[in-house]
Amino acid sequence: MKNIYAIIQLNEHGFDILNSKNMQLEKTFIQHGRLSTYNHSLFVAYMSLCIAGKLRIKINERSLVRGALLHDYFLYDWHIPSTENRRHAFDHPRRAWENASQDFELTECEKDIILKHMFPLTLKLPKYRESYIVLLADKYCAIYETLAWKRTKRKLSFLEDYLGKQTIIS
Ligand SMILES: [Fe+2]
Ligand SMILES: [Fe+2]
């Protein structure tokens, strides 16, 4: 079922991020399978809003969207071996936060979402409800993208249509 409310929230709170130079650059980095980091982040933000809607708990939707969109803002292709990304799974949340805080004004909640999205790998417990939601959405999307590529592609095409954006889903 399509969640139009989630798309409206995505557009309202994430428009500047989605159209920023470095976020557009994420279209050239592969995250899972054939999916770009841009599309993965868009999918995680959408699913985070869907999960929040199902839970019916009070959250800050703006922080949820922005933290989710920026959670993997590490800005390199982790499939290409380099000394910098040897410990990618452990180090990329900090890298994403460093990059994101240079490009955008982040709230404490958004910082927590980005830094803790790999919990338990990152050891410290998330502090906010929004962080737990993104953590859950990220794991769900990673599995979905890997096991259901065609359905992921369909869901993303629908998101793109509504957001009026062009991306590089192939
Ligand atoms: Fe990540
Ligand atoms: Fe992710």
In the reported structure, the alpha carbon of residue 161 is separated from the centroid of ligand 1 by a whole-number distance in angstroms of 25
In the reported structure, the alpha carbon of residue 12 is separated from the centroid of ligand 1 by a whole-number distance in angstroms of 23
- Ligand positioned closest to the Cα atom of 48: 2
For the chain, the structural domain boundaries read: 4-163
Q: What is the pTM of this model?
A: 0.93
Give the pLDDT confidence score for residue 3 in this predicted structure: 87
In the reported structure, the alpha carbon of residue 14 is separated from the centroid of ligand 1 by a whole-number distance in angstroms of 18
Average pLDDT, the chain: 91
> Which residues, at least 6 apart from 77, have a Cβ–Cβ distance to it below 8 Å?
28, 29, 30
pLDDT-based confidence at 166, cuts 50/70/90? Answer: very low
For residue range 46-75, list pLDDT tens digits in order. Answer: 999 999 999 999 999 999 999 999 999 999
**Is there a contact between 66 and 17 (Cβ–Cβ < 8 Å)?**
yes
For residue range 122-134, list pLDDT tens digits in order. Answer: 888 999 999 999 9
- Ligand positioned closest to the Cα atom of 145: 2
> What is the share, in percent, of the chain residues with pLDDT greater than 90?
69
> Which residues, at least 6 apart from 157, have a Cβ–Cβ distance to it below 8 Å?
169
Distance CA(49)–CA(65), nearest Å, equals: 7
Considering the four listed CATH numbers 1.10.287, 3.40.50, 1.10.3210, 1.10.510, the one that applies to the domain covering 4-163 is 1.10.3210
